[in-house]
């Protein structure tokens, strides 16, 4: 109970004076009244987090997933849902029972050694001159970009809503004192930045109100657990949102086609951009863009959409793809309502992301042979598998691609040639610079650069480019940050056990000596460097240890990362009731068509680019190797399999509505009237197996003249919570993460 009060108080410090009182209790000595607890639960949002959702029944609940991910698993309706704790594959190892981060006290020892400062590790192990890199001979930079894109589909760790120390009120961006939520990264005396700055700001991740179901009873105390603010499922939630209010804010409700909202102030040579932030969220969300000094070009959507040019390009690409899908579906099924068109396109988009990730992306990351061994063929939905994202996956394992990022952002003109109007950019000049897309050629130059540029090759001595360790957000003003140090500090904040513990979990050999570690890493010099820094391999932070392993044959990650990635992706597949291969989700004809999808086709259909590689994740050496979009190897997705039948085998023709919409789901027809009309009669009819007729009699749509032309203004009811999440992401400045 006391531990939970501390967490509630931490989450609520910025919303009520009562909460501030709780924050100063260490540990709390006076139990709160039931009324006080209810105030805290409401103020922090914990009441909704702790409440078990009521799951709908019926055909539509089987056909479309919820926005929040709730009720995907009907026995465990919170598994994989937004705003639930990350799962744990190993118990956390905090500095104390209250969840103090590893390394909070610089003098605290682990296995008889103190932990080295994360900035010291970054400088000695990760730092790589921009010019001192090797290029991947097989993979394109679009593969790197896809990794971050898909990460934004299943993980977002909200940080503390407060930017000031709870006890002293000190500004976390200025203080070097460790006082929750401030966990600043200290600058060692040997660091080149010594004398310029003493520390880098870092905010602790916000704690969950509830404990994870994992390891219940394994530890004597309620351990601190972090939240995943979005759905764990690969469902294209970065396009649609992970809540009903956010999904509503992203739609164009005046359209009869169920399209996503478009930018009404600018276009990309006639093609759509994402809408700008502003009055769409009742005028409050604009403060996020003001904070990063981009009030005009900040785009509405996932809070990380504006991080850099590649993210803006992919967000824009898939916004256009959704709208293209609903237009084609409308031609096939003109009787479908805007909601049905929207949901069907959303369902197809989710399947596209699953296919591109599991069949195109993962084999290149893990290697073909490890993929077949670690990811056996799909055998069906298993309701006993928890698909929730694991803490170690989000905070460490899936950050492996940070060491494959190029220091330059290539932008190419038509024909994949250099163009003076949009030259290549140093990476730090592309961060929070989405205005460059609008003013410097649209998304086409960015996508061409991603298609033709190779990924950076991860090698010992060539880990993370200085653009990320020395210049992160330098172009936005203030002191630059260090992505490598941020990753390491995040793992310690989340209480992730050390490298050796995770090797043990995966059934891999655990290094006990320098020679053991040298054999695993294939590099005696790197092994000696690690032990000089950490004293023992048990203390090596899991992220830096995992990325240091040599890759498996044909892949780009070593044995530990292959194990952790495969474990998570297998759970995401097998624990998803709406997985695209499950028999009840799509028909066999639809599945056959979905299997033909390619990212190259999506680029062809939604940009002005006319030549693409047959495999966009593989490196294309020369523009001459690109194929015309009309080439047979770039097939179209044939949506004819989505045409709804006009007759039922038993009850005959489907009754349609004049001035209304209908949807056939199993043997039930659902009805809805268009704007300005009222439904008179039942909202659904069923095929009666005895009379072979539709029962009851179908409804009609009755005109309501007074309602025609009414414009409904949609405002996001939970905008304060949304903006806090957006602010937290922007102010944390954690690129390529969560």
Please write the tens of the pLDDT for every residue from 319-330. Answer: 999 999 999 999
Residue 667 lies in a domain: yes
Q: Please state the rounded mean pLDDT for residues 651-656.
A: 94
Say whether 108 is catalytic.
no
Residue 665 belongs to some domain of the structure: yes
> Mean pLDDT across the stretch 239-253?
94
Would you state the pLDDT for residue 286? 32
Closest CA to 42 of 720, 726, 738, 736: 720
- With 90 as the cut, is the pLDDT of residue 726 above it? no
- pLDDT for 142 beyond 70: yes
The reply to whether 669 falls in a domain is yes
Indicate the angle between helix axes 2-12 and 34-44, nearest 10 degrees.
Answer: 50
Let me know if residue 55 belongs to a domain: no
pLDDT given for residue 485 in this prediction: 97
Tokens of 49: 């987090």
Q: What is the pLDDT of residues 572-616, one digit of tens each?
A: 999 999 999 999 999 999 999 999 999 999 999 999 999 999 999
Residue 688 lies in a domain: yes
| Structural domain includes residue 661 | yes
Q: Are 521 and 527 in contact (CB under 8 A)?
A: yes
pTM given for the model: 0.88
Within a 10 A sphere around the Cβ of 109, how many other Cβ atoms? 11
Give tens-digit pLDDT for 391-401: 999 999 999 99
Q: How confident is the model over 298-308, as pLDDT tens digits?
A: 666 677 888 88
Regarding predicted confidence, which is higher, 281 or 121?
A: 121
High-pLDDT (> 90) share of the chain, %: 70
Q: Is the pLDDT of residue 109 over 80?
A: yes
User: Using 50, 70 and 90 to split pLDDT, how confident is the model at 205?
Assistant: very high
pLDDT of 289 over the 70 cut: no
Q: Which CATH number do you get for residue 701?
A: 2.10.70.10
Which tens digits make up the pLDDT trace of 158-198?
A: 988 888 888 888 888 888 999 999 999 999 988 888 878 88
The confidence score (pLDDT) of residue 196 equals 81
User: Who has greater pLDDT, 295 or 595?
Assistant: 595
- Give the mean pLDDT of 635-643: 97
pLDDT for 509? 97
| Predicted pLDDT of residue 279 | 40
What values do phi and psi take at 12, rounded to 5?
-105, 5
Mean pLDDT to the nearest integer, 138-154: 97
The chain-wide mean pLDDT, for the chain, equals 86
- φ and ψ at residue 80, rounded to 5 degrees: 80, 0
- For 437-463, the pLDDT digits (tens) are 988 999 999 999 999 999 999 998 899
pLDDT at 20 over 70: no
pLDDT score, position 210: 72
Mean pLDDT of 72-76: 96
- Binding-site residues from annotation: 402
Q: Are 551 and 533 in contact (CB under 8 A)?
A: no
The binding site for heme b consists of 402
Task: Give pLDDT, residue 4.
Answer: 38
Q: Find the DSSP H helices in 333-367.
A: 338-355, 362-366
> % helix / strand / coil in the chain, to the nearest 5?
40, 15, 50
Is 650 among the domain residues? yes
Is 511 within 8 Å of 569 (Cβ atoms)?
Answer: no
Distance separating alpha carbons of residues 170 and 187, to the nearest angstrom: 19
Count the domains in the chain.
1
How far, in Å, are 365, 408, 622 from residue 588 at the CA level?
29, 44, 38
Indicate whether 47 pLDDT > 70. no
Residue-level pLDDT at 306: 82
Q: Which pair of structure tokens corresponds to residue 694?
A: 């539709």
Q: Specify the pLDDT at position 39.
A: 66
pLDDT value at residue 476? 58
> How many Cα atoms within 13 Å fall on the side-chain side of residue 568?
30
Would you state the pLDDT for residue 737?
Answer: 39
Q: Cβ(82)–Cβ(230) under 8 Å?
A: yes
Q: 477: pLDDT confidence band, cut at 50, 70 and 90?
A: low
Average pLDDT over residues 459-481: 83
Contacts of 195 (CB under 8 A, 6+ apart): none
Give 711's pLDDT tier (boundaries 50, 70, 90): very low
Task: State the pLDDT at residue 307.
Answer: 85
The more confidently predicted of residues 577 and 295 is 577
**Cβ contacts of 134 within 8 Å, gap of 6 or more:** 456, 457, 459, 462
User: What pLDDT is recorded for position 44?
Assistant: 57
Whether 481 shows a pLDDT value over 50: the answer reads: yes
Q: State residue 207 phi and psi, 5-degree precision.
A: -85, 155
Choice among 456-465, 511-520, 541-550, 721-730 with the minimum mean pLDDT = 721-730
Lowest mean pLDDT among 380-389, 458-467, 508-517, 721-730: 721-730
Q: Which domain holds residue 703?
A: 644-673+676-707
pLDDT at site 635: 96
Out of 76, 141, 152, 222, which one is annotated catalytic? 152
Nearest to 701 by CA among 735, 657, 636: 657
- Establish if 164 belongs to a structural domain: no
The backbone torsions φ and ψ at residue 333, rounded to the nearest 5 degrees and listed phi first, read -135, 75
d(CA 331, CA 198): 62
Summarised one tens digit per residue, pLDDT across range 682-692 is 999 999 988 89
Cα angle 40, 42, 45 (rounded to 5 degrees) comes to 100
CA distances from 70 to 74, 390, 717 (A): 9, 17, 19
In the chain, the percentage of residues whose pLDDT exceeds 70 is: 83
pLDDT in tens, 211-224: 544 444 344 447 89
Question: How many whole angstroms separate alpha carbon 594 and alpha carbon 577?
Answer: 18
């Amino acid at each position: 109970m006391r531990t939970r009060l501390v967490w509630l108080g931490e989450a609520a410090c910025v919303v009520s004076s009562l909460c501030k009182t709780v924050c100063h209790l260490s540990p709390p000595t006076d139990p709160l009244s039931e009324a006080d607890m209810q105030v805290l639960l409401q103020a922090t949002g914990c009441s909704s987090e702790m409440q078990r959702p009521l799951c709908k029944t019926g055909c539509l609940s089987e056909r479309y997933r919820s926005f929040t991910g709730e009720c995907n698993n009907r026995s465990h309706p919170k598994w994989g849902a937004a705003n639930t704790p990350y799962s744990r594959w190993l118990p956390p190892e905090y500095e104390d029972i209250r969840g103090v981060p590893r390394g909070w006290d610089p003098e605290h020892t682990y296995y008889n050694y103190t932990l080295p400062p994360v900035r010291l590790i970054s400088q000695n192990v990760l730092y790589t001159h921009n010019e001192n890199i090797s290029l991947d001979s097989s993979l394109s930079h679009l593969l790197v970009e896809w990794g971050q894109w898909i990460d934004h589909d299943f993980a977002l760790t909200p940080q503390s809503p407060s930017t000031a120390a709870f006890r002293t009120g000190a500004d976390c961006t200025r203080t070097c004192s460790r006082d929750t939520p401030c966990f600043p990264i200290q600058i060692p005396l040997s660091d080149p930045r010594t004398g310029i700055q003493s520390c880098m700001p870092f905010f602790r991740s916000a704690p969950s109100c509830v404990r994870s179901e994992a390891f219940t009873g394994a530890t004597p105390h309620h351990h601190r657990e972090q939240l995943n603010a979005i759905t764990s499922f690969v469902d294209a939630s970065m396009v649609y949102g992970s809540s009903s209010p956010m999904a509503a804010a992203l739609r164009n409700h005046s359209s009869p086609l169920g399209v996503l909202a478009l930018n009404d102030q600018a276009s990309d040579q006639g093609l759509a951009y994402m809408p700008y932030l502003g009055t769409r969220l009742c005028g409050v969300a604009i403060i996020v863009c003001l904070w990063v000094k981009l009030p005009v070009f900040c785009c509405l959507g996932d809070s990380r959409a504006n991080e850099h040019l590649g993210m803006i390009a992919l967000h824009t690409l898939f916004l256009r793809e959704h709208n293209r899908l609903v237009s084609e579906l409308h031609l096939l099924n003109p009787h479908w309502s805007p909601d049905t068109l929207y949901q069907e396109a959303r369902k197809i988009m989710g399947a596209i992301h699953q296919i591109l990730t599991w069949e195109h992306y993962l084999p290149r990351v893990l290697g073909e042979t490890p993929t077949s061994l670690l990811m056996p063929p799909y055998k069906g939905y298993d309701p006993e598998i928890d698909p929730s994202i694991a803490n170690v996956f989000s905070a460490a394992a899936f950050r492996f691609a940070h060491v494959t990022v190029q220091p330059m952002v290539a932008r190419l003109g038509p024909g994949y040639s250099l163009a003076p109007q949009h030259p290549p950019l140093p990476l730090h000049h592309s961060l929070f610079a989405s205005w460059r897309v609008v003013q410097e050629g649209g998304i086409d130059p960015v996508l061409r650069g991603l298609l033709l540029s190779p990924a950076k090759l991860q090698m010992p001595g060539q880990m993370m480019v200085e653009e990320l360790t020395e210049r992160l957000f330098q172009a936005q003003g203030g002191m630059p940050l260090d992505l490598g140090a941020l990753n390491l500090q995040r793992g310690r904040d989340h209480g992730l056990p050390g490298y050796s513990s995770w090797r043990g979990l995966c059934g891999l050999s655990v290094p006990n000596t320098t020679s053991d570690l040298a054999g695993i890493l294939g590099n005696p010099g790197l092994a000696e460097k690690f032990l000089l820094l950490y004293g023992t391999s048990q203390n090596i932070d899991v992220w830096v240890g995992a990325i240091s392993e040599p890759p498996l044959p044909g892949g780009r990650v070593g044995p530990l990362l292959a194990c952790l990635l495969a474990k998570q992706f297998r759970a995401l597949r097998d624990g998803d009731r709406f997985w695209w291969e499950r028999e009840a989700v799509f028909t066999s004809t639809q599945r056959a068509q979905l299997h033909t999808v390619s990212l190259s086709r999506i680029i062809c259909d939604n940009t002005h680019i006319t030549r693409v590689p047959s495999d966009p994740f593989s490196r294309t050496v020369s523009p001459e190797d690109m194929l015309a979009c009309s080439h047979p190897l770039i097939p179209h997705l044939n949506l004819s399999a989505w045409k709804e039948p006009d007759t039922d085998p038993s009850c005959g023709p489907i009754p349609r509505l004049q001035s209304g919409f209908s949807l056939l789901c199993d043997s039930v027809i659902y009805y809805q009237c268009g704007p300005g009309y009222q439904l008179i009669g039942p909202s659904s009819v069923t095929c009666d197996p005895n009379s072979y007729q539709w029962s009851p009699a179908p409804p009609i749509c009755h005109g309501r003249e007074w309602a025609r032309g009414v414009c409904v203004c949609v405002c996001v009811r939970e905008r304060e919570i949304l903006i806090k999440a957006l602010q937290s992401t922007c102010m944390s400045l954690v690129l390529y993460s969560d």
